[in-house]
Every structure is written in structure tokens, then in C-alpha cells.
Structure 1
């Protein structure tokens, strides 16, 4: 496993654990509606929320076409993960899988 794959895997784990640590705390006392309202509660949170949403959409488009280009099976799963779990989990997880696919192709091309 190369260093990039290790970094992507560590970041994927962190992208799952850290956001959901706080999400679970919030949802212990609040609802999804309150979560959405809190994410647009002031100009700073609106800015961050829209920034993340746009990055998620752009990254999802890239993941879709990149998964098609590299024949990564179930590429749509990473897009769903990005919207339903956390984009900070989905992107590094996709990059981890992509890196493995690129390694496989390199090893096949140059044995």
C-alpha cells in the first residue's frame, strides 16, 4: 500500500468519525429539521453550508465520471455516501479506491 492510499484511508476514517461524533450529539436532542435550520442559522454557517454543498456536487460529478473512466464498480455509492453520511468520508474513500485501481492498471500495463 502506497503512502497516498494510507493518507486517503486515514482521512476517510477521520471524515466518518469526526462529523458523526457531533451529528450524533446533535441528533440525541434535535431533529433533522432543527439540524437544517441550524446549518443556515447565520451568515457564517450559510456560507460554510453552501460551500460544502457546491463542493459535494462538483466532487460527485467528478467521482461519477472518474468511476466510469476507470471502471470502478458501484461508483454511485460514493456519491450517496457524500450526501447521506459525509462528503469528508466519501471523497477520501473514493480516492483510496481510485488509487488502488490506478495501481492495478499500472501493474497490468507494466508487469
Structure 2
């Protein structure tokens, strides 16, 4: 891997892969069983509805964070993470964003060269 992949970035990347594998395992299971995915989310009782609302609010807050941080760090195409979360899972795209954010911060830190201080006489 590149020198800009810090241990924290690799950790986020591993979480992204776990999020993608874990959510898509159950998505494929729902497809095979011909389940009404959206219907199951909202009609399987108050506990499932509570978890759904909880995760939805966190996902929206995460999307706002993605846009704000991407702009602050000069990362392009932040909207792709948000679009991708609808196609895959936020459990995948958010840690992926965090991994690439960490990589970008490491890259920016490495590009800043300290200014030499002239000797005091």
C-alpha cells in the first residue's frame, strides 16, 4: 500500500469491507427468500422501527459530515459516497469515506514541509 495509508485508515477500510459483506449477506438472503425488504423494515414491530429510525438519523448525520469534511479537505466526488450508500450500504460507504479521509489527511500532513528557521546569532 501507499505510504499515505495509516493504520487508522486501514482499520476504517477493514470496517468498510465488513460492512459491505455483512449487509449484503442479509440483502442476498432477503432476495433469495423473496422478502419485501422495505415492508419488513417498517412493519416488523416497534423494535425494528426504532432501529431503523436510529440508523437513518445516524446515516443522515454521516452524510452531512461526509459533505462538510470532503469540502474542508479538498476531496472530490463526496456525493458518490452518499449515492453508493443507497446502492450498497452506509455501513460500507461511511467507513470507506473515513479511510480515504484519513489517507487524505496523512497525505496533506506529509506535503507540508517545515520552514527552516535561520540560526540566531
Relative contact order, higher structure (CA 8 A, sep 6+): 2
What secondary structure does 1:30 align onto?
coil
Instruction: Looking at secondary structure, tell me which structure has more helix per residue.
Output: 1
**Alpha-carbon shift at residue 82 of structure 1 (Å):** 1.9
Structure of higher CA gyration radius: 2
Unaligned ranges ≥5, structure 2? 115-121
The answer as to whether partners of 1:56 and 1:82 remain within 8 angstroms in 2 is no
Residue aligning to 1:28 = 32
Residue aligning to 2:117 = none
Instruction: Show structure 1 runs of 4+ deviating over 6 A.
Output: none
RMSD in angstroms over aligned alpha carbons? 1.2
Unaligned ranges ≥5, structure 1? none
Which of 76, 93, 97 does residue 94 from structure 1 map onto? 97
1:8 maps to 2:4: no
**Alpha-carbon shift at residue 6 of structure 1 (Å):** 1.4
CA deviations on 1:24-73 (whole Å, 9 max, x unpaired) are 01111225xx1111112100100011111111111001101111111111
Which of 108, 112, 119 does residue 109 from structure 1 map onto? 112
Find the aligned partners of 1:78 and 1:110 in 2 and give their Cα distance. 31
